[in-house]
Amino acid sequence: MGFALLNGEIIERSEAKVDVEDRGYQFGDGVYEVIRVYNGKLFTAAEHLKRFSKSAESIGISLQFSSKQLLEMVEELLKKNNLETGNIYMQVTRGIAPRNHVFPASNVTPTLVAYTIKSSRPIDNLKSGVKAILTEDIRWLRCDIKSLNLLGNLLAKQKASEKGCFEAIQHRGQDVTEGSSSNIFIVKDGTVITHESNNLILKGITKDVILDLCRKNNIPVIERTFSLTELDDADEVFLSSTTAEVMPVIEINGKIMKAGVPGKVTRKLQDLFQKEIEKQCGVLVS
Ligand code: DCS
């Protein structure tokens, strides 16, 4: 099972227990991050830790540790667990207090937890692409906060899974927002289009890396809302996340997209993304 980080201390993971009155357990009153590890090295760690602090701040949780301290602790954790390829999951809740919707007194310490998960890259899916369904986005209006409250996302993902699909692409009316755990991109006439980062979606770290790669490599890119019709008419569709990287989508709601195979721009972005990983974490063997 290895080790976990609990409030700044590295302990046996089996010893890391949650109190029944932890507000994360009772209310989902907290925020989280998932950071990818390749070759024993963290990918885009600074960006994830910055978003973690921002999410916490936006719901009034003050982290007991600076981003620098968090980075040191997380690096120590992955060394102790000998993690080569996988994820670091971290979350902070508002702490332990008698159940009450009102926030507890400020002397209640937030509960910070992190642990590691071994997980290889989704090579087969990256090569062949995945299927998705469409579903109405029923979530709240602060999807920019990486909140522990994920019921809307879970219901969407479960629906996709029951249809044998990898992801549920959510939409508010005619507007496509994002996947249940990913950002969605379309490519039309060579231009990459993805929802602008506002309160309706999570500002994905992978999304930002992709936008940057597009700009540096003269691939036209626009951040704007696009419709279900545009999704249906797209030349290529792909999704992005920390664990799914740049993932081609080849079928939506049972309808095979254009070629039924990953598109040219998607392939190019997959190559560029892999180079970016290798720049930060060293050569990938698989
Ligand atoms: N949108 C939602 C709703 C997400 O949950 C995620 C990632 C993303 C977009 C993509 O963001 P990143 O590029 O920063 O990963 N969800 C994480 C999760 O819950 N598991 O893995 C990634």
Query: Quick check: 4 pLDDT over 90?
Result: yes
The pLDDT score that the predictor gives to residue 48 is: 98
The pLDDT score that the predictor gives to residue 22 is: 98
Closest CA to 123 of 279, 245, 217: 245
Query: Quick check: 281 pLDDT over 80?
Result: yes
- The domain that holds 227 is classified in CATH as 3.20.10.10
The model's pLDDT over 232-275, given as tens digits with 9 standing for 90+, comes to: 999 999 999 999 999 999 999 999 998 799 999 999 999 999 99
Q: Are residues 83 and 143 in the same domain?
A: no
| Mean model confidence pLDDT for the chain | 97
Query: Quick check: 112 pLDDT over 90?
Result: yes
Label residue 202 by pLDDT band (50, 70, 90).
very high
Query: Quick check: 128 pLDDT over 80?
Result: yes
Distance between CA 14 and CA 272 in Å, rounded? 39
Q: Are residues 145 and 46 in the same domain?
A: no
CB 164 within 8 A of CB 193: no
Residue 240 dihedral angles phi and psi, to the nearest 5°: -140, 145
Residue 241 CA to ligand 1 centre (angstroms): 5
Distance between CA 2 and CA 117 in Å, rounded? 10
Which is it for the CA torsion 24, 27, 30, 32, positive or negative? positive
pTM over 0.95: yes
Pocket of ligand 1 (CB under 6 A): 34, 153, 178, 181-183, 202, 204-207, 240-243
Q: Are residues 172 and 227 in the same domain?
A: yes
Residue 107 CA to ligand 1 centre (angstroms): 31
Name the domain count of the chain: 2
The SS3 assignment for 98 reads: coil
Domain interval for residue 38: 3-118
